[in-house]
Amino acid sequence: MKRASLHTLGCRLNQAETAVLTARLRRDGYRIVEFGELTDLLVVNTCSVTEEAERTCRYVIRKTLKHSPDAFVAVTGCYAQTGVQELRTIPGIDLIVGNQFKGDLPSFLPAPHSLKKQPDPEVLHTRTIDREDFILPEYGDPDSTRALLKIQDGCNVMCSFCLIPFARGRERSRLQDDVIQEAEILVAGGYRELVLTGVNIGQYRQDALDLVGLIARLERIEGLERIRISSIEPTTITNTLIDRMASSSKLCPYLHIPLQSGDDSILSSMNRPYSVKEFTLLIQRAMAAIPHLGLGTDIMVGFPGETEEAFEHTLDIARALPFSYFHVFTYSQRPGTAGAKLPNQVPAAVARSRAKTLTELSRLKRLAFAERYIGSILSVLFESGHLDGFSSGTTANFLRVNVPSSLDLTNQLKDVQITGTSDRWALGKLTPERHPLRIVPML
Ligand code: SF4
């Protein structure tokens, strides 16, 4: 049996798509091996959000060809879409598949027994990507306790630092029946939490059904315990969604809402469609309706024109708003984006020090969020594996919790009393089922 190794860079959507490719290659008779093991086929699902991501893609190929020099190398994903000319020049690549054909990549591979290196890569690429709503050619083989469910693709926003609209095309939604069918299969397969992924999922629209309507259909699936929204743009969060999250017994009280900057002039040159005030009002509305909301965000530092004063504005809002953590990104100039043409590029050392300051603040925010729950009883969905005698899992509002346990708690929902914190997770101890002290039914 031929071996296949898949490596994914970038976002949850890429991970969800790799799960689909994995299922298909398994069905085509490949044995899936861990990345780094000897292989006959390497599939790299790439990212082009930053220059670093593209560099890592090239490194992954070189590394694999060192131990498996005859491996057939197929490259797909956003770098294959936006960097096809560059990838053509990278030694060792045999097939380049743009995002239009990503889902069908296995159909473009030679038969397993006739995999062999090519003198030049075969290229399947279109400049633009179809706009139609879609179904998935295959359902995924998730490799984590929280199954990723792709519901949407593409983005029309055109933020001036972002390549994704060029890599993934215009907004489009997955047919609702196709989403429900895969969700039912995943739940029948034992998954208790589904994470809705896409690029701009708040723009989900299928016939008259929007994101809240889709969630209502998912909530009716027996055995599904949690529905989590991965990341959602601030301008797409409606009062209806907030109300649904406040009253639902399945929709997790968790929102990851990219802020990017706390300075209005930077937001405007980023082409982000909201002001700091509007973002703040949204957060206040959400927190008022959902007191235990887990709130994450993305913040970018070093965007052209970001003065010390503008950065101070970002620090102020990051401190003031009740974030439970934030992901910090350093601006990476992307060819073809409006940002790449902007003057006043920020020196790398300055951007790095700003990123360091924000990362430290995020650590303190995460700690403060965990400390809020010391003494409380929370429901935790445990993931596979043990770390130094600890089992790990997350609450519905995305607090990571570790408990000392020798039991295999994989994919189990357990009540845990929070006893302490570290700056990366809360510590707890298992308590008897359905403990009366548990905080609100959903947590
Ligand atoms: S909303 Fe902006 S940052 Fe997000 S994918 Fe669209 S263009 Fe990129």
Segment 123-153, tens digit of pLDDT: 999 999 988 999 988 887 777 789 999 999 9
Residue 369 has pLDDT above 60, yes or no: yes
For the chain, percent of residues with pLDDT exceeding 70: 98
Report the pocket of ligand 1 as residue ranges, CB < 6 Å. Answer: 155, 157-159, 162, 164-165, 199-200, 233
Secondary structure class of 434 (helix, strand, coil): coil
Please report the atom of ligand 1 found closest to the CA of residue 168.
Answer: 5
Confidence band, pLDDT 50/70/90 cuts, at residue 293: very high
Residue 441 has pLDDT above 70, yes or no: no
pLDDT at 436: 52
Residue 438 has pLDDT above 60, yes or no: no
pLDDT at 433: 58
The C-alpha atoms of residue 80 and residue 167 are separated, in whole angstroms, by 8
C-alpha of 160 from chain center: 21
Residue 159 alpha carbon to ligand 1 centre in Å: 6
Instruction: Identify the residue whose C-alpha is closest to ligand 1 atom 8.
Output: 162
- Placement of tokens 């970018």 in the chain: 300
Among 164, 170, 298, 303, residue to substitute to test ligand 1 (most atoms within 8 Å of Cβ): 164
Strands 205-206 and 209-210: antiparallel
- Tell me the pLDDT tens digit for each residue of 301-327: 999 999 999 999 999 999 999 999 999
Residue predicted with more confidence, 26 or 388: 26
How would you classify residue 152: left for phi > 0, otherwise alpha for psi between -120 and 50, otherwise beta?
beta
- Tell me the pLDDT tens digit for each residue of 185-215: 999 999 999 999 999 999 999 988 999 999 9
Output the 3-class SS for 216-260: HHHHCCCCCCEEEECCCCHHHCCHHHHHHHHHCCCECCEEECCCE
Among 13, 81, 152, 199, residue to substitute to test ligand 1 (most atoms within 8 Å of Cβ): 199
Q: What is the mean pLDDT of residues 374-399?
A: 91
pLDDT at 384: 80
Residue 250 has pLDDT above 90, yes or no: yes
pLDDT at 84: 97
Residue 164 alpha carbon to ligand 1 centre in Å: 6
Which residues make Cβ contacts (< 8 Å) with residue 107, sequence separation at least 6? none
All domains of the chain in start order, with CATH = 3-124 (3.40.50.12160), 129-252 (3.30.750.210), 377-430 (2.40.50.140)
Q: What pTM, to 2 d.p., does this model score?
A: 0.94
Please report the atom of ligand 1 found closest to the CA of residue 165.
Answer: 7
Residue 199 alpha carbon to ligand 1 centre in Å: 7
The C-alpha atoms of residue 379 and residue 226 are separated, in whole angstroms, by 11
Q: Tell me the pLDDT of the chain averaged across its residues.
A: 94
